[in-house]
Structure 1
Amino acid sequence: MNRFIFSLLSFLFVINYSFSQTWSAVAGAPTALRFDDIYFVNDSIGWAVNNNGLVYKANVRSKTWNPQLTTRTYNRSVEFLDDTTGFVGTISSAVYKTSDAGMSWKRIDSRFPVAVPAVCGMSHRGDTIVMVGSYFASPYVNRSFDRGKTWTYTDMSSLASGLVDTWFKSKDTIFVSGNGVDGRGIVLRSADTGKTWKEVTTPNTVPTSWGWKFIFPTPSVGYVSLEEVDINDNYLSTKTRILKTTNGGRSWNLIDTNIGKNIDIQGIGFINANHGWIGGNSQGMYETKDGGSTWKLVNNYENMDRFFPVNKNTYYFSGTTIFQLNGLITGIDPPPFIPAHSLEIYPNPANLECKAKVTFDKATMATISLRDITGRPMKEIYRGQVDAGEHIYDIELKEVEAGEYVIYLLTNERFLGKKLIKLKK
């Protein structure tokens, strides 16, 4: 649906959902490590993409989920302009388009002026669609004003080191989220349909973090989940925080939640200005009723990513399956936490070189990089698909000045890092 329309509907029907509700798995929905994105054209018909390279078309009423496309890579994003024309983005150069509701798909990335490493987020208004990426490298905005026939590419490396999501708020106003050139989680705003961009986050946003997913429940109030890198291998070492705007996105402020630990937040959704949910990779889903100040754990769902509002009565959330909002809930005890993956650096301190030993508990997409202590990117060490098990990566330090740095591991399951001390030569 048009996301601007959702903001108006939420504003008009705020009273309808003033009571607590719960999320339950949609009948017949498939399961996976994670469904990164969903898009519904009405309260029953939609599409879902997952880490296994599958694109499903859903008919919720008939409880059918039919696989329509296998991309043979990690699917990251999906967007439909109407009930027939849609796009699928992957964590590779492959981008697909359908003009017949998914009966057939064709690769269209050869039409792009510049090859893109991944499409992490998409949004549209009318015939105009915006694609952004990637969370790990080469930040860009790709725009098409003719339903994907031709494209205009904008290099965003002067403002960001990576981009994750986008929200088309009005005819001319577009937002993108990601990681700034200095390592902070950021939001960028364009008031001319993507020609020029300006950062609108406050300077005190968190170092070593990514602005992840958008939601605007009203025309003036919006939220962005803020995923922070854990540099001490301990989720209690950092907080869970979000970004919030109350002036339509012209400025965004940092909100510290009362959760008391880092839940590795990615998914975020609100049904009005005050009532919403956030979900971490493996830390459960939390609910707020006061605009994000206080939160309560309400279920143990994992890998939550995309909240999708269809109308004032229908809301979906993607995670290990597809969930729908309904019923009542009172809260539960926190789940046991088992962190995904591990990272060791040795020797540390180091002089001319060191090694990163990474143990992956499952196959995934991984990026390993060297950043300064504030989170500013310096050097990419590895990027690509990895199998489960132990992997060793050599890190060259000859040209690195003495001081403190951080080795980052970015995966779809977890962001983490280890401090590295570089000795004098």
Structure 2
Amino acid sequence: MKIKLTLIILMTSVYSFAQNGWSICNTPTFDGRVDDIFMVDFQTGYAVCGDGKIAKTIDSGDNWIQIHKDTTIYCRSVEFVNTQKGFVGSFSTTGTNVLQRTTDGGTTWSDLTSLLHPKAKKGICGLAAADPNTIYGCGNWFQDSAYIVKSNDGGDSWSFIDMSAYASSLIDMHFISKDTGFVTGTGLLPLQNAVILYTTDGGVTWSYKFQNTTPNEFCWKIQHLTNNIYFASIEDLTSVPASILKSMDGGMSWTIHQVTSTSQDIQGVGFIDSLKGWTGGGTLSFETNDGGITWDTIFICSGMNRVFRVNENLLFASGFNRIWRYDPTGTASISESKLVQNHTTIHVNCYPNPVNDNLTVKTSLSKSTHSLLILFDAAGKEIKIIDNTDRPKGDYTYNLNTADLPRGNYFIILKTHEDKATIKIVVNH
């Protein structure tokens, strides 16, 4: 079983971040992962959390205030076209507020869900505003559908683009202009590999710019650093070495850069310049100072999901319960007890293991979430989806007949909005 690291910390010790530049922002009390950040300019920005909170800063991230809360949604993405007008994409337990819009800086929000195609009401994972009128959204990570929604009138109406010919899920997106952009996600069965897709005609047609050969991966987040330099993260569902992607030709080709020789949760990725950047997603995060060639462990931003660069002197990272700010010229002191959190929100156990014919799978969810429970073979090929539905907080039991499976090693993987857990099983009959 892949066991998440729990750091034993000394409450009294203090790390000096004078050379590091990272500090923890003053925020509302978040109960979950801060999934996305969008800074409109140097001073004004917005953040969304899985607990349904939307927060805003007007002082370059020193302080964030809660401006909205809806406990029926898991806020997934945020995008603004100016300081007043923006959008939030979510997963909803009630079928409402999947996509919201504000035109007054977050004071009030309108529900746009009724304007979406029925398939898009499953959720909006990623958002991209090409200009004030052209807005794109994509979904979802459940691996049961892939789609894009698009508005040409600032959000008053939305069209639907079926992406099932290209991907089984879509996660993040970035548009350079109203017609040209990228979307990341998971490819088609049976491989379901990490993919990056590219369009130059507003989403009418798409081409693959990256297709990995490893099965059951997500291309998770994408960052546009310069006209030529892009980065993207790869989340692997099984046990291959953690990696990110880098492009030096404007996203037309990509190279894989290994972060660690072991499997790690990798979701967020971002660079402040061509050499210095960060990635992470689990308990640990990683830093590079040579453009992604080598990486060191760094104890910041557990559960990293979004890294947002404002300029060469300001960058933010969001993760479990917190927003972090990076200022290369700044000095901050952070108590060690705040550095890394044990953020495990899920557990999975299987017995008997080894198993002959009938396997009992037990999962535990610490909060209401979406449960995706999958059986993979040792090569990472998906064998069976055991569960793929919204679940309340609680404990769940599943029975899996393994009599028809060949002898060998397999993986049971539980993935939710917030977390991932993996357990190895042995079929021995």
State the TM bucket, normalised to the shorter chain. Answer: 0.7 to 0.9
Write out aligned runs for 1:140-289 (5 A).
140-181=147-188, 182-204=191-213, 206-230=214-238, 238-257=240-259, 259-283=260-284, 285-289=285-289
Instruction: Determine whether 1:341 maps to 2:346.
Output: yes
User: Which residue does 1:41 correspond to in 2?
Assistant: 40
Q: Which of 27-36 and 189-198 deviates more?
A: 27-36
Judged with a 3 Å threshold, the aligned counterparts in structure 2 of structure 1 residues 148 and 294 are, in CA distance, closer, same or farther, namely: same
**Distance in 2 of aligned mates of 1:91 and 1:394:** 28
In structure 1, what is the equivalent of residue 391 of structure 2?
385
Whether contact under 8 Å (1:213, 1:225) holds in the other structure is yes
1:120 aligns with 2:125: yes
Aligned pairs, how many?
392
Contact 1:27/1:60 (<8 A) preserved: no
Separation (CA, whole Å) in 2 of partners of 1:85 and 1:350: 58
Separation in 1 of the partners of 2:428 and 2:192?
23
SS in 1 for 2:228: coil
Distance 1:175 1:274 in 2: 23
Q: CA deviation at 1:325?
A: 1.0
Task: Tell me if the contact between 1:36 and 1:75 (Cα under 8 Å) persists in the aligned partners.
Answer: yes
Contact residue 367 and residue 383 of structure 1 kept, 8 A: yes
Helix, strand or coil: the match of 2:114?
A: helix
Query: Which residue does the alignment assign to 2:292?
Result: 292
Cα deviation digits, residues 293-327 of structure 1 (max 9, x gap): 11122324311111112233322211221111123
Aligned-pair CA distance for 1:238: 3.5
User: Are 2:420 and 1:411 aligned?
Assistant: no
Structure 1 residues 21-66: Cα deviation after superposition (integer angstroms, max 9, x where no partner): 4221123454332100111212222221111111122223683513
Amino acid at match of 2:179: D
CA distance in structure 1 between the aligned counterparts of 2:221 and 2:274, rounded to whole angstroms: 16
Change (3 A) 1:357 1:104: same
Q: Which amino acid aligns with 1:408?
A: I
Partners in 1 of 2:180 and 2:390 — Cα distance? Answer: 34
The one-letter code of the counterpart of 1:241 is: S
Q: CA deviation at 1:418?
A: 4.4
Cα distance, 1:201 vs. partner?
1.2
CA distance in 2, matches of 1:198, 1:90: 27
- For residues 145-199 of structure 1, give each alpha carbon's deviation from its aligned partner in whole angstroms, at most 9, with x where no partner exists: 1111121211222221211111113342211111111221111111212111122
Instruction: Rate the CA distance shift 1:248–1:336 in 2: closer, same or farther, 3 A.
Output: same
What SS does structure 1 have at the residue aligned with 2:38? strand
Aligned-partner SS, 1:160: coil
Instruction: Report which stretch shifted further, 358-367 or 413-422.
Output: 413-422
Contact kept, 8 Å, 1:47 with 1:56, in 2: the verdict is yes
Question: What are the Cα deviations for residues 79-99 of structure 1, in whole angstroms up to 9, with x where unaligned?
Answer: 112222211111234221112
> What is the DSSP-based 3-state SS (H/G/I as helix, E as strand, rest coil) of the residue aligned with 1:412?
coil
Is the contact between residue 140 and residue 156 of structure 1 (CA under 8 Å) also seen in structure 2? yes
Cα distance between partner residues in 1 of 2:212 and 2:280 = 25
Decide whether the 8 Å contact of 1:183 with 1:374 is kept in 2: no
SS at match of 2:186: strand
AA aligned to 1:262 is S
Matched residue, 1:4: none
Greater displacement, 79-88 / 357-366: 357-366
Q: Which whole-Å deviations, capped at 9, do the CAs of 1:70-127 have from their partners, x for residues lacking one? A: 2522111111122222111112342211122212111111111333211111111111
Distance 2:248 2:107 in 1: 42
Report if the CA contact (8 A) 2:90-2:125 is conserved: yes
- Deviations 1:2-33 (Å, cap 9, x if unpaired)? xxxxxxxxxxxxxxxxx964221123454332
Distance 1:46 1:217 in 2: 19
Confirm or deny: 8 A CA contact 1:161 1:377 kept in the other structure.
no
SS of the residue 2:168 aligns to: strand
Structure 2 residue runs without a partner (length 5+): 1-17
Residues in 2 aligned to 1:68 and 1:176: alpha-carbon distance in whole angstroms: 28
- The answer to whether structure 1 residue 54 and structure 2 residue 53 are counterparts is yes
1:97 aligns with 2:101: yes
Could you tell me whether the CA contact under 8 Å between 2:368 and 2:390 is conserved in 1?
no
- Given that residues 183 and 377 in structure 1 are in contact (C-alpha distance below 8 angstroms), is that contact kept between their aligned partners in structure 2? no
- Partner letter of residue 250 of structure 1? M
With 60-69 and 50-59 compared, the bigger mean Cα shift is at 60-69
| Deviation for aligned residue 1:267 | 1.2
User: Which residues in structure 2 correspond to 1:310-321 (within 5 Å)?
Assistant: 310-319=310-319, 320-321=321-322
TM-score using structure 2 length? 0.81
Greater CA deviation, 379-388 or 267-276?
A: 379-388
Contact 1:371 1:379 survives alignment (8 Å)? no
Mark the CA change 1:229 to 1:25 in structure 2 (over 3 Å): closer, same or farther.
Answer: same
Name the CA distance, whole Å, in 1 between partners of 2:332 and 2:106: 36
Q: Percent identity between the aligned chains?
A: 30
Distance 1:279 1:368 in 2: 22
Contact 2:350-2:359 at 8 Å conserved across structures: yes
**Contact residue 69 and residue 105 of structure 1 kept, 8 A:** no
8 Å Cα contact 1:270-1:276 kept in structure 2: yes
